[in-house]
Amino acid sequence: MNPTVFYLNPGATSDVLSIIREELPASWRLLPAEGNEFAEQLSVCDFLLVPDQPVLAQHLTAAPRLTMIQHQGVGYERIDLAACRAKQIPVCLTPEGTTTGVAEHTILLVLALYKRLVVAANGVRAGRWMQWELRPQSFELSGKTLGLVGLGRIGREVARRALAFDCRVVYFDPVVASSDDPRLTRCTSLVELVSSSDIVSLHLPVTSASRKLVNDDLLTHFKTGSVLVNTARGALVDELALLAALNRGHLAGAALDVLEEEPPAASNPLLHMENVLVTPHISAGTRDALKTKMRAAFGNMQRRLRGEPLFHLVPELSDLFEGTA
């Protein structure tokens, strides 16, 4: 059998596709997405590889040969799991390759925000030498308290890096009772964490309970002059509430790799604020991460063909497939 993989990513460039093909098993075929109509690719694909596009019931209906959906990352809220259950299609995730890039990007965003990096660099290009002008609004990471909302794989790696910068690290995670690292302090509530943190960084999935977790009410408990960092999912933050907190000066700034709408409308006011830094969902967007992810994704597809246990099956479908890993 020579399986066909449909890469459901209309934004993939030829360079990205070349990297993916480097990891593609011999004799397998990779079909790229072209335009916004995928009927032809779906009709012949055995596997669906998806980064963050929606996978709807009509996609499954159009894919009679489909045996598995492999998500390139870990956020699967845009996949219709009810339709997958009805058609007995497993959905697996690829946490491999994500952790390092997101952890590094989180620290990068904090440093860039604290040192007003984009403002300073753009100022030089515009002929403004702000050697002294930016000092009153610039800060060091050393000695600050970093509050992690979520202490999973990524949260732990962010903590490890922040400790190297001499940060105090606190965390809140209703699932993680304690940390193996005694240098981390557990908060008993989200309010306790945000009220004591200079930097609040989000590292959790979107669920019915976490959607718009950062809202008007929670923002009132943030420490005055603190900053928010989000490299997880845009839906965790109520952007109108965040905007209001920034405008009234309660928050000193925000660094966002994810937004509620991606790509955002040009009119989104967060894009035009000097104390807000927005990057285009690239925290895990490195060549290193992509190669690691593709090796893991194709390896899981091969396990499916061999009838072996699947890695990282979404828990909502675990009852349908025996022996998953």
Determine if the peptide bond prior to 263 is cis (ω within 30°). Answer: yes
Active site residues: 233, 262, 281
| CATH topology assigned to domain 99-278 | Rossmann fold (3.40.50)
- Give the model confidence (pLDDT) of 281-313 as tens digits: 999 999 999 999 999 999 999 999 999 999 999
Q: What is the mean pLDDT of the chain?
A: 95
**Separation between Cα atoms, residue 240 and residue 246, nearest integer Å:** 10
Phi, psi dihedral angles at 235 (to 5 degrees) = -70, -10
Strand order in the sheet with 145-149: 184-186, 168-172, 145-149, 199-202, 226-230, 251-256, 276-278
Report the 3 state secondary structure along 171-229. EECCCCCCCCCCCEEECCCHHHHHHHCCEEEECCCCCCCCCCCECHHHHCCCCCCEEEE
| CATH homologous superfamily for the domain 4-97+286-320 | NAD(P)-binding Rossmann-like Domain (3.40.50.720)
- Give the model confidence (pLDDT) of 193-230 as tens digits: 999 999 999 999 999 999 999 999 999 999 999 999 99
Which ranges in the chain are annotated with CATH 3.40.50.720?
4-97+286-320, 99-278
Asked whether the predicted pLDDT for residue 97 surpasses 70, the reply is: yes
Q: Report pLDDT for 163.
A: 98
**Separation between Cα atoms, residue 281 and residue 56, nearest integer Å:** 22
pTM: 0.90
Q: Report pLDDT for 324.
A: 55
Q: What is the CA radius of gyration of the chain?
A: 21
Asked whether the predicted pLDDT for residue 157 surpasses 80, the reply is: yes
Asked whether the predicted pLDDT for residue 323 surpasses 60, the reply is: no
